[in-house]
Amino acid sequence: NAGVTQTPKFQVLKTGQSMTLQCAQDMNHNSMYWYRQDPGMGLRLIYYSASEGTTDKGEVPNGYNVSRLNKREFSLRLESAAPSQTSVYFCASSDGAGVADTQYFGPGTRLTVL
Amino acid sequence: KQEVTQIPAALSVPEGENLVLNCSFTDSAIYNLQWFRQDPGKGLTSLLLIQSSQREQTSGRLNASLDKSSGRSTLYIAASQPGDSATYLCAVKNAGNMLTFGGGTRLMVKP
């Protein structure tokens, strides 16, 4: 059981380049999330998708776009990368249902923007 | 806006010691509180989830408590082992399925 998978694991970009981070889950979860984690800080929510066909902004959405391609896949796009977007990006998924809802995380993508 | 704080930011203890990690949050209208473990270069693994109506949860040597009225949670680790070395993150869930994370406590257990 793969759980939540993310590609790529590592990426180096130059300022202004674009890229898409891919995420897929095989747990039939309704909700999916993208977070970023910076040194010494906890995770901050970029975007989330409560269900297939819907997306909403989180705490730090500027500079990012997302696509919920189907129930399994949720991608994050950087249209014009900036050094401030150097971070570790985590995708997560959950049932999204109520007080016992637990999020399951992927291994992360380590992105450096030069 | 919910804010979550974890103290201390780093902790080093000798093997075998019992220890407590602290988490505080500003908005008590939470659905649940979770404790996660993160190993270096890895993703997060859920350790314990306490629903808003519960006071504590236990799993093996781990015990987490929740006091909603005071906006506090503690994670108690009994008889610590070197394998417990990791960063521990707490996160609270408010309305809208969103988690708000604390900055984490980096734990080192020395043999």
Low-confidence ranges of chain A (pLDDT < 70): 1, 97
Two structure tokens written together for B32: 């649940």
- Residue A72 has a pLDDT of 96
Contacts by A98-102, CB closer than 8 A, 24 or more apart? A98/B31, A99/B31, A99/B32, A99/B51, A99/B52, A99/B53, A99/B93, A100/B32, A100/B49, A100/B51, A101/B31, A101/B32, A101/B93, A101/B97, A102/B34, A102/B46, A102/B49
Give dist(CA A50, CA B57) in Å, integer. 27
Q: Are strands A4-7 and B72-77 parallel, antiparallel or unpaired?
A: unpaired
Q: Are strands A4-7 and A19-25 parallel, antiparallel or unpaired?
A: antiparallel
Low-confidence ranges of chain B (pLDDT < 50): none
- Residue A31 has a pLDDT of 93
* B69 touches A: beta carbon within 8 Å: no
Closest-approach residue (CA) in chain A for B9? A40
Amino acid of residue B59 = S
Beta-carbon contacts of residue B60 (< 8 Å; ≥ 6 apart): none
**Residue B74 near residue B6 (C-beta atoms within 8 A):** no
Looking at the partner chain, which of A58, A100, A108 has a beta carbon nearest the beta carbon of B98? A58
Q: Is B44 helix (H, G, I), strand (E, B) or coil?
A: strand
Percent of chain B with pLDDT over 90: 88
* B2 touches A: beta carbon within 8 Å: no
- Residue A97 has a pLDDT of 67
- Residue B97 has a pLDDT of 72
Q: A109 vs chain B: nearest CA distance in angstroms?
A: 10
